Structure 1
């Protein structure tokens, strides 16, 4: 298998006795950019967590092509992050450099400058000294992206990164994701907006009924597959006609 390629072979996950998806086979090539789509409850977030080893497989295998834990950068859904924890914007960004400082290491001048540059890249320079609970939803999501900038991860995994964000914030962060892809990083993102998927993500995994349809976006996101995945008429598809 090619170095850096993530492959699932006949993989399946069962949670609380209920199959989430099964017999899933496909691969994320090194440097590829893939969206994961599907209706609520289809197992999109579970797929990310299974790749990360946070959810055990009930069947099959996932191979990581030589990638290590430090090669992955993961952004969970923002609503699952406790913003009440008393930490400043700068300190949270510095947490993304744990691979350089260690869990309890001190950040030197070079790393602190990198953190400042990361905040500037996401337009948060003026928020560096604030506590994270004082940020708006859009500012907090920008902060999470700045933290990812510190990781130097080869694989970026994003779980609903643009949900409930305004258009300017979405545009800026999607531009950053495209920059990462241009740098040769592997991008895997759970998304709901079909326009974003069609315009920016060459590949897609569409989860439906415990199965995965995997391949080039233009070939997979057809009216027939969308109707099967989301049900009903075109109006039931999330931004399907955008």
Structure 2
């Protein structure tokens, strides 16, 4: 069976890498002048791995279809799963006792209401966790923002500004802390050099275990099945 890359991205990198997207597409990243024959060979050599990963991604997609924002659907918050329910007596959205309870008045605009709730909760959680680690390790930052980024959990600017996607608030608090420490470490090292990872290790010795969690569980945080919100 022949396997073909749906997309080839050339850049000033030194090696060829293969990536299976959430929809099962194979994307190849290669150095600028890499011959097509070498790319084809790299794909052929990894054929078994590619097919395995594509099956995994497509299985995840089937098991996590786009949200319908309907009663009984499951939503994740701080690593725990909650069942969506609408209540005539609820005055605000809450996540308690296994239920994500939404006022019945929001039933026709549940997507907007729930995403706004996630964003509000994310701001509170990120502010608390960033403040905790910044004060503990005497790290200074200039600003903290919540974004709707789809491709990265957090980012750090050269001016000391920190950004985190609201989707991160679905992760367990230990994993949120890893992303917080990762970005705080960028305040002293704006790259991913050995010095940067040494800094991360100083602040969080078990960071690699938490980092690995994202490689196998990131799809649980809504990147696969949350439709991009309006105005996001």
TM-score norm. by structure 2 comes to 0.30
Structure whose CA Rg is larger: 2
Identify, as 1 or 2, the structure richer in helix. Answer: 2
Q: Point out which structure has higher relative CO (alpha carbons under 8 A, 6+ apart).
A: 1
